[in-house]
Amino acid sequence: MMRKILVVLAVLAFASSMLMVSSCAKKQVKMEEEVTRPAPAPAPSPGPAPTPKAPAPTRPGVEEEAYKKAEAERQAKLQELEKAQQLRNEIRLFESEHIYFDFDKAELKPEARAVLVQKAEWLRRHPEYSVLIEGHCDERGTNEYNLALGERRANAAWKFLNALGISGDRMSTISYGEERPADPRHNREAWAKNRRDEFKLIK
């Protein structure tokens, strides 16, 4: 009986020692694995937060000054265009307004004098312009006679404008006689339109 107990105890002791050896071996293997396993790479540290760009400094004074300058230039150009258009209209009116004469006459009628006064005022305001005075006649009479009559009519306007202060070196005359009728018909109405002086501006 005692021998059986001793055998049992010996078996238990052997089993216990085997468990301890196995446990130690496992611990050693685990430690070796931990030693040989590479350490995990450290997580990258977050870089510095990007600094927001500061808005470009505004210069309200400079921008306003530039706007005012551009607007002033635009207004100046508009005024120049308006003046140029107004001048073109005035020139068109000046040249389209003629004076008329009675048959076979070169004397200025009252209405012709009124027109010439207006033309003199315009020429005084625009000294950069000269004027060519054209004398015309109707078809009655010879060519030679009508050329001479047209010259007398042009000279009558020249003298009147000169008396109003327009310098003689700003005026010239020419006679076309009956060569350039304003109305080509052969009746009294057409003849009345053709007995005239016309005025052409020269710059």
Domain ranges of the chain: 86-202
Q: Where are the alpha helices (DSSP H) in 97-174?
A: 110-125, 143-163
Q: What is the pLDDT along the chain (203 residues), one digit of tens a residue?
A: 556 565 555 555 565 556 554 554 455 545 554 545 555 555 555 556 666 665 555 566 788 888 888 888 888 989 999 999 999 999 999 999 999 999 999 999 999 999 999 999 999 999 999 999 999 999 999 999 999 999 999 999 999 999 999 999 999 999 999 999 999 999 999 999 999 999 999 99
Query: 2-25 as b/e, with b when 16 or more CB fall inside 10 Å?
Result: eeeeeeeeeeeeeeeeeeeeeeee
As a whole number of Å, the end-to-end CA separation of the chain is: 156
CB within 8 A of 156, min separation 6: which ones? 106, 107, 108, 197
Q: Residue 31 CA to chain centroid, in angstroms?
A: 87
Per CATH, domain 86-202 is 3.30.1330.60: yes
Cα separation, 148 vs 22, in Å, equals 151
pTM passes above 0.85: no
